[in-house]
Amino acid sequence: MHVRPTLLAALFAVTALPACLASAAERLTVTVTHSLDIARPSETIVIPWTKVNAALPHALVQKLVIKDAAGKVLPYQVTNVAPQAKDPQNVGAAYGELLFQHDFKAGEKSATFTVEKSETLTAPFPPRAFARYVPERLDDFAWENDKIAHRTYGPALAAPDTDKTGKEVLKTSGLDIWFKRVPYPIVDRWYNKGHDHYHHDEGEGIDMYNVGASRGAGGTGIWDGKTLATSGNWASWKVIANGPIRAVFELSYDSWDAAGTKVTEVKRFTTDAGRYFDRMDSTFTFSGPQQLTVGIGLNKTPSDKGEDAKIAYAENQADKSLVQWVAQKTKGDFGVALIVPGAGAQAFTTDARNALVLAPATSGQPLTYYIGAAWNRAGEITTQQQFQRLVADEAARARAPVQVSLSPGG
């Protein structure tokens, strides 16, 4: 994960070479449009590989060039999300999606790109989104991009301290936040530092968010009108894609009792480079009721110990968002927000630990929502008003996704 400056420069130099060597004879032109007036930084453009392969037969992940309208070579990623099972002719048919990004300026509603095959190898791009299982810290699972980091907790942390060694015990499916000051990856470095170090800001950021038995930042449960029934720690994990632009993984939770109904959950996380918000797709499986009400939560007391924080909430019906701004005494201010797009969000409520957004769930069908956070000491989102604007823009982007059209040649 850690790339020396000289190596990083070499990577960029190598990846820039194919721009002048790629053949224009085989080219796919990509036009991306949207309807919003706002800026859309780090917009991820997704093209099914079947479409790429149809326009550029036998294109390979290591011999590809993506360029914007000015001819700039763009970082890209080819995933194995929803691929064909096999590629017996070795023509790239088993790939899943081609991903790259564009920063739409305010008022810029269209952009054009080209995808070309190259005879020259394209080296991997530096990672800006990353996820991994962390067995060295009691089965944590951690993920990050260049803006924010998160973790959540696995079976080893929930296990009792039967040997009386002083092992930490925590049973929760809540989600944690690690606030970053730097764009480069920090997960591996912070775990290598040891538990005590990442609770102090040593220049790269800090783990100061409180989860405990709450939902943390975006954990879920089943709401019966009075109480929230929640799962335990995740039971299994699966990484589906892992940068440089997008990380996708799933966590599965064993069944729990929700007012007499047995429920299981598989939560898919999608983390994109350059974005403060992650997409969650939670699929609940149960029998009996036609629907259950899901509570998606934010911890009501998320600040670090001794900070005596002042916490402000905004419940936005139009955006289906719940926004929390936490002003601390000594460790800076931060915002956390939930967005449940479309017709999903029904109401807002609270329990003893959490502020909740309620949404209906049908067995076997994913419930989509977004969770995001920002810290004023990272230097980009520094006020409550800026954070509220960020949330509103993210909600607008969720309602109005970009449209992608493809044409051969160009």
| Other Cβ atoms within 10 Å of 108 Cβ, number | 13
Query: What share of the chain has pLDDT > 90, as a percent?
Result: 81
Q: What is the mean pLDDT of the chain?
A: 91
Q: Which residues contact residue 219 at a Cβ distance below 8 angstroms, ignoring those fewer than 6 apart?
A: 152, 172, 173, 174, 175, 230, 296, 297
Q: Characterize 119-154 residue by residue with b for buried, 16 or more Cβ atoms within 10 angstroms of its Cβ, and e for exposed.
A: ebebbebbbbbbbbbeeebbbbbbbbbbbbbbbbbb
| Band of pLDDT at residue 234, cut at 50, 70 and 90 | very high
Phi, psi of 187 (to 5 degrees): -55, -55
Q: How far apart are CA 18 and CA 67, in angstroms?
A: 10
Residue 356, beta-bridge partner list: 297, 349
Tokens standing for residue 339: 């967005």
- Number of Cβ atoms within 10 Å of the Cβ of 93: 16
Residue matched to tokens 């764009």: 183
| pLDDT given at position 132 | 98
Tell me the pLDDT tens digit for each residue of 339-371: 999 766 679 999 999 999 999 999 999 999 999
Using alpha carbons, list the distances in angstroms from residue 116 to 14, 30, 44, 47.
16, 11, 19, 14
Pick the range with the lowest mean pLDDT from 158-172, 210-224, 238-252, 335-349: 335-349
> Residue 115 contacts by C-beta under 8 Å, 6 or more apart in sequence?
27, 28, 29, 30, 47, 52, 55, 56, 64, 65, 66, 98
Per CATH, is 129-379 categorized as 2.50.20? no
Question: 26 versus 274: which is more confidently predicted?
Answer: 274
Give 257-293 as a DSSP string.
Answer: EETTEEEEEEEEEEEETT-SEEEEEEEEE-SSSSEEE
Check: CB of residue 206 under 8 Å from CB of residue 195.
no
What does the pLDDT average to over 188-195? 84
Whole-prediction pTM: 0.91
Q: How many CB atoms lie within 10 A of CB 264?
A: 16
Domain residue spans of the chain: 27-120, 129-379
**Domain 27-120, CATH:** 2.60.40.1180
d(CA 170, CA 156) in angstroms, rounded, equals: 9
User: 271 forms bridges with which residues in the sheet?
Assistant: 247
Average pLDDT over residues 208-237: 97
pLDDT digits (tens, 9 = 90+) for 113-127: 999 999 999 999 999
At 204, the pLDDT band (50, 70, 90 cuts) reads very high
Residue 5 pLDDT class (50, 70, 90 cuts) = very low
Contact 334, 179 (CB under 8 A): yes
Place of tokens 């956070």: 373
Greater confidence (57 vs 235) lies with 235
Res 14 pLDDT > 70 = no
Q: Is it the case that residue 403 has pLDDT exceeding 90?
A: yes
Whether 16 has a pLDDT exceeding 90, the answer reads no
To the nearest 10°, the Cα dihedral for 376, 354, 209, 397? Answer: -50
Residues 78-102, mean pLDDT to the nearest whole number: 78
> Where is average pLDDT lowest: 12-26, 63-77, 200-214, 218-232?
12-26
335: exposed, middle or buried (C-beta count within 10 Å: 0-12, 13-18, 19+)? buried
pLDDT of residue 2: 44
Alpha helices in 179-266 (DSSP H): 187-193
pLDDT single digits (tens) 91-109? 666 789 999 999 999 999 9
Compare 222 and 53 and report the one with higher pLDDT: 222
Which tokens hold the place of 147? 């803006």
With a cut of 60, say whether residue 18 has pLDDT above it: no
